[in-house]
Amino acid sequence: MRAERPTEYNEDYHPVDGPAPEWPEAFARSAADREALACLLAIPSLTPRRLLRLAQTERAASACLRAVSSGRMGRSADRDRATPGRGRELLQRAAELGARFVSVGEPEYPRVLLDLADPPAGLFVIGRPLSQLEPRVAIVGARNCTATGEEVARTLAMRVGMAGVAVVSGGARGIDRAAHEGALLATGRTIAVLASGVDISYPPTHRELFTEIATHGAIVTEYPPGVRANTFRFPARNRIIAALCRAVVVVEGAKGSGSMITADHALDVGRDVLAVPGPVTSDLSYAPHRLIREGATLIRSADDLLEELGMAPSGWHPDRASTATAPVPLTEDEECVLGALHGATPVDRVAMDSRMEAPRVLGVLIGLELRGAVRQSGGRWERRPGWS
């Protein structure tokens, strides 16, 4: 089921109504045009939408660059940046970093991005070809997430990864990181879409994570080397995450969360939006609960997600995984809650026996359900066979 568009989103990043213009067929076909395009993508004031409008009249990237250098387009500060030599340097720097430049119209460019009203004119990619990382689903959510939300995202990603689904996220702290880690635990099929150039690790603490993603999956960005992750680039990044995927899953998010912007973009390009419910007392349940109220599909497990994707349920089979895909150890709370399950047990009884608050118990149970450890029926919870 597809939700209606969320009522709260940032208008600055909401696509315009009506059919979007298309990139000219030979916009960046020649070497000179590719260099010009790399330069254009590094000019902050030249947003994808403005560049797309300019391309309708100029028809080629080189001509667009001349329009900027002559002052017919852009700001006066952009003129010094608008040189073919700069584009050549950026492409060389990208190659030194192991990145390839994929311009619109090339075979590797994902055609699904053309569903956007402002598709990127080019992408810098490190790692596997994106055509090898399909089907794709996005898992996004709060940076300052709870331990339960982190575990839910990691387990969701791990189990859908085992079913052959590539997991896309934004490389941020919290839910994004957990989603990438879960996919890496499974098959490594994960894509991180950055809000900066490929040479800039943001946050800096994720440098090793990005290296591992590039080794097994792919790093993607529309920004050339040297472009820093300014605030306005994150909502722009979210549109690429949404368009790349068949569905977007939201795991935790406070009011005003960037995951609402991602969900908005997903709906605009016809992607499914799904959400994992959380405790009603948690501020981080705002985004998923709001989306569910507006029609997003509620999911309780990876099997629910795979069913929505039209794929067979993955189940949890440790023997199918390599040594790198061993189940994530239980947390202290999970062990405590599992120990309080005696047959089909209501949440309030589990809370009493585990000496934990009911909302906290419910969050742990949802995480255990996503891991395939427990199931619920009629408001009661029980262990699945094989879990002691």
Whether the predicted pLDDT of 321 surpasses 50: no
Asked if the structure places residue 247 within a domain, the reply is no
CATH of residue 371: 1.10.10.10
Question: Does this model's pTM top 0.85?
Answer: no
Query: Is residue 143 domain-resident?
Result: no
Per-residue pLDDT for 66 more than 80? yes
- Per-residue pLDDT of 215-252, as tens digits, reads 999 999 999 999 999 999 999 999 999 999 999 999 99
Cα 63 from chain centre: 34
Q: Where are the alpha helices (DSSP H) in the chain?
A: 31-41, 48-58, 61-69, 84-96, 147-162, 175-186, 207-216, 233-244, 258-268, 286-293, 302-308, 332-339, 347-354, 358-370
The answer to whether position 152 is within a domain reads: no
249 φ, ψ (degrees, to nearest 5): -110, 125
Query: 63 in a domain, yes or no?
Result: no
Question: Is 261 part of a structural domain of the chain?
Answer: no
Lowest mean pLDDT, pick from 1-10, 178-187, 258-267, 294-303: 1-10
Check: CB of residue 116 under 8 Å from CB of residue 14: no
Residue 18's pLDDT is what? 55
122-127/218-221 β-pairing: antiparallel
pLDDT in tens, 343-354: 888 888 898 999
For the chain, the domain total comes to 1
Do the domain assignments include residue 334?
Answer: yes
**Which residue has 């055609």 as its token pair?**
111
Higher pLDDT, 194 or 308: 194
Please name the residue that has the structure tokens 């000019």.
43
Whole-angstrom distance, CA of residue 321 vs CA of residue 301:
19
* Three-state DSSP class for residue 157: helix
More confident call, 224 vs 308: 224
Would residue 223 count as lying in a domain?
Answer: no
What's the token pair of residue 375? Answer: 């199931």
Residue recorded with tokens 């956007």: 116
69 within some domain: no
SS3 category, 325: helix
Q: What is the pLDDT of residues 122-166, one digit of tens each?
A: 999 999 999 999 999 999 999 999 988 998 999 899 889 989 999
For 15-64, how does the pLDDT look when each residue is reduced to its tens digit (9 = 90+)? 445 566 899 999 999 999 999 999 999 998 899 999 999 999 999 999 99
DSSP per position, 4-52: PPPS---GGGSPPSSPPP---TTTT-SHHHHHHHHHHHT-TT--HHHHH
Residue type, 126: I
Residue 193's CB is within 10 A of a number of other CB atoms, namely: 23
Domain that holds residue 375: 329-383
Q: Which candidate, 120, 45, 31, places its Cα nearest to that of 84?
A: 31
Helix (H, G, I), strand (E, B) or coil at 127: strand
The band of 387, judged by pLDDT with boundaries at 50, 70 and 90, is low
Q: What is the pLDDT of residue 40?
A: 96
For residue 382, give Cα distances in angstroms to 147, 234, 277, 358. 22, 41, 19, 16
Cβ atoms of 306 and 272 closer than 8 Å: no
Q: Please, which residues bridge with residue 125 across strands?
A: 100, 220
